[in-house]
C-alpha cells in the first residue's frame, strides 16, 4: 500500500510565477522544490539596481532549484549573454534544457513580438527553433503563450499567443507548459487542463500594473 507520505515524497512541488516587472518583493511566494519564473522580471531593463535586487530576492527564497526564462522586457540579457552571471541565484534557460530529478525542462524567451527582447517575427525562424524542443520534455517553459490558450487580455478579443508554438506543443505534448506575458484579470482562469498537457499562465501582474495574483503551485511525480 502506498501511503500519502510516500506519494508526496516522490513528488516535486513546482512554484510558478511570471511578469513581476520589478515588483517581485510584493509577491507572496509559497515554498516548494522548484521555482519557475517565465520572464519580464524587469521593466524594459531600465534599472540595473532592480535587476540586482531581483537576483538578491531569488537568493533569499528557499527553493532548491530556480529556473528563469527571460521575457520581452528583459533586453539586457539579449544584448549580452555573459550578463547571465548577474542572475547567479537561478539557472537561466535561453532555448536550452535542464534535467532535475528525472524531469526534463526546456525554456525559451522567444515571442513573435517585433521590437521586444528575444522577438522573432519570422515564422520559419520560430519553427526551426521549436523543432529543437526535446521530444521527451516534461515541462515546457516559454515567456509567451501558444495561440488560443490563456492568451487574451481583459477587455480584448485578440489572441496574443503564437500559432507556431501551439503546433510545437501539440507535437511534443509536455506534461506541463508554463508561460506568462499576457496579464490576465485576477478573476480569469489561469490553468487549462487538456488530455496531454496542463497549461499555466503564471503572470502575476494585473491589467492595472500591480501584482494582484499569487504564484501557482503544482505537484509533479519524480521520474528518478
Residue 190: pLDDT over 60:
yes
Mean pLDDT, rounded, for 26-50: 95
Residue 56: pLDDT over 80:
yes
Q: What is the pLDDT of residue 224?
A: 63
Q: For the chain, what is the largest distance between any 2 Cα atoms, rounded to a whole number of angstroms? A: 56
Q: Which overall architecture, per CATH, does domain 4-221 show?
A: 4-Layer Sandwich (3.60)
Q: What is the pLDDT of residue 84?
A: 87
How would residue 83 be classed by pLDDT, with cut points 50, 70 and 90? confident
Compute the Cα dihedral for 153, 156, 160, 161 and give only its sign.
Answer: positive
Q: What is the pLDDT of residue 8?
A: 56
pLDDT tens track for 128-168: 999 999 999 999 999 999 999 999 998 889 999 999 999 99
Report the range of poorest mean pLDDT among 37-46, 80-89, 198-207. Answer: 80-89
How would residue 82 be classed by pLDDT, with cut points 50, 70 and 90? confident
Residue 96: pLDDT over 70:
yes
Residue 103: pLDDT over 70:
yes
Residue 6: pLDDT over 70:
no
How would residue 2 be classed by pLDDT, with cut points 50, 70 and 90? very low
Q: What is the pLDDT of residue 199?
A: 98
Structural domain boundaries of the chain? 4-221
Q: What is the mean pLDDT of the chain?
A: 94
Amino acid at each position: 500500500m502506498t501511503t500519502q507520505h510516500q506519494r508526496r515524497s516522490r513528488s516535486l512541488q513546482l512554484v510558478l510565477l511570471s511578469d513581476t516587472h520589478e515588483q517581485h518583493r510584493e509577491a507572496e511566494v509559497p515554498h516548494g522544490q522548484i521555482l519557475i519564473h517565465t520572464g519580464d522580471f524587469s521593466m524594459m531593463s531600465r534599472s540595473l539596481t532592480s535587476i540586482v535586487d531581483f537576483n538578491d530576492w531569488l537568493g533569499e527564497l528557499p527553493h532548491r532549484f530556480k529556473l528563469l526564462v527571460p521575457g520581452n522586457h528583459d533586453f539586457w540579457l539579449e544584448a549580452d549573454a555573459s550578463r547571465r552571471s548577474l542572475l547567479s541565484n537561478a539557472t537561466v534557460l535561453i532555448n536550452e534544457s535542464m534535467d532535475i530529478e528525472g524531469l526534463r525542462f526546456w525554456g525559451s524567451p522567444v515571442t513573435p513580438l517585433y521590437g521586444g527582447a528575444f522577438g522573432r517575427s519570422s515564422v520559419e525562424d520560430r519553427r526551426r527553433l521549436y523543432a529543437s524542443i526535446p521530444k521527451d520534455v516534461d515541462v515546457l517553459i516559454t515567456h509567451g503563450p501558444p495561440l488560443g490558450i490563456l492568451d487574451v487580455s481583459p477587455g480584448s478579443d485578440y489572441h496574443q499567443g503564437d500559432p507556431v508554438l501551439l503546433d510545437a506543443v501539440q507535437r511534443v505534448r509536455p506534461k506541463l507548459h508554463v508561460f506568462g506575458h499576457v496579464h490576465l484579470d485576477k478573476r480569469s482562469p489561469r490553468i487549462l487542463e487538456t488530455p496531454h498537457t496542463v497549461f499555466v499562465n503564471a503572470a502575476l501582474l494585473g491589467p492595472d500594473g500591480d501584482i494582484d495574483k499569487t504564484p501557482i503551485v503544482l505537484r509533479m511525480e519524480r521520474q528518478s
